[in-house]
Amino acid sequence: MLKVCKFGGSSLSDAKHFKQVKAIIEADKDRKCVIVSAPGKGEGERDKITDLLYLCFQHNKYHVEFDSLFERVEQRYLTIKKELNIDYPIENDIKDIKDALKAGEMTEAKLVSRGEYLCAKLLSAYLGYSFLDAKDLIHFKFDGKVDEKKTNEDITKAFSKVEKAVIPGFYGSYPNGDICLFSRGGSDVSASYFAEALDAYLYENFTDVSGFYMADPRIIENPLKINEISYDELRELSYAGAQVLHAETIIPLMEKRIPLEVLNSNHPEEGGT
Ligand code: ADP
Ligand code: ASP
Ligand code: MG
């Protein structure tokens, strides 16, 4: 019996948010499968790590110096590690990434995926959970579609060997091992594949709003909250641009009718949709 929990970038933007996430996970023993995005914007943080990594790649491609950009990425992880006293040598991983980029050994997808990878490494060490790499679990075919059978099998196999794990969202790999990304916001979709493979009784999607509203609360003041919504209505809203969930999130959930709850990591007590 487990729940799949996904935490978006806004829920992991800094050490304070990492602490909140830990408290949420530890409040329920069923929260055994945790999918994370890369740290996003927050109170004192103006950058999304994913955006910075795309920028680093482009700078390097055109031989423009990117050290100061990369340092902004590095500092985010080092600060979280330091403030929470996390006993994991994340600086070694970061150095390897930078060296590989400079040596021309990184595809854009691989570099960008490191945002989620590093975040999952830190969070797994902080929680005392296992780390599982999405490249070994989420399999894409060369046409860019997910190989559902292989993905299902490998997720099930991996979870027969670990009890609790943190997994980076947003990416998987092609049959030749190269990293492949979902489209932006795709960690929502990664988590759905885990929910399906593991027969989760609930997929909790933690973000920075207390559920789905009639309109984007960043644009419309005090929109009404939707307490319950069907898969079809949700898909329509997502395709119409409601950013809170990636439009493909529900596809892996529908057949097994796995319920999805959108919750606020800053106010989980408020309930959601
Ligand atoms: P995460 O980092 O958790 O993946 P996102 O930024 O992708 O979060 O999605 C959450 C954001 O979606 C909210 O901050 C909100 O501004 C926006 N949003 C857009 N439409 C809606 C809606 N209908 N209901 C709630 N939030 C919405
Ligand atoms: N970090 C990725 C993005 O910014 C994926 C995600 O957040 O789900 O799009
Ligand atoms: Mg999102």
pLDDT tens track for 146-198:
999 999 999 999 999 999 999 999 999 999 999 999 999 999 999 999 999 99
How remote is the CA of residue 148 from the centroid of ligand 2, in Å?
A: 21
pLDDT tens track for 198-240:
999 999 999 999 999 988 888 999 999 999 999 988 888 887 7
The single residue listed with the structure tokens 């829920």 is: 11
Strand runs (DSSP E) across 153-259, as ranges?
165-168, 171-173, 179-181, 202-207, 212-213, 225-226
The SS3 of residue 204 is strand
The band of 43, judged by pLDDT with boundaries at 50, 70 and 90, is confident
The single residue listed with the structure tokens 């006993």 is: 87
Tokens matching residue 268: 């989980």
* Cα–Cα distance, 75 to 167 (Å, whole number): 22
Average pLDDT of the residues in 89-118: 97
Q: Which residues surround ligand 3, an ion (CB under 5 A)?
A: 8, 185
CB–CB of 205/262 below 8 Å? yes
* Ligand 1 atom 17: residue of nearest CA: 244
Instruction: Give the pTM.
Output: 0.97
pLDDT of 215 reads 87
Probe target for ligand 2 pocket from 6, 48, 193, with the most ligand atoms within 8 Å of CB: 48
Mean pLDDT of the chain: 96
CB–CB of 5/33 below 8 Å? yes
* Cα–Cα distance, 249 to 188 (Å, whole number): 6
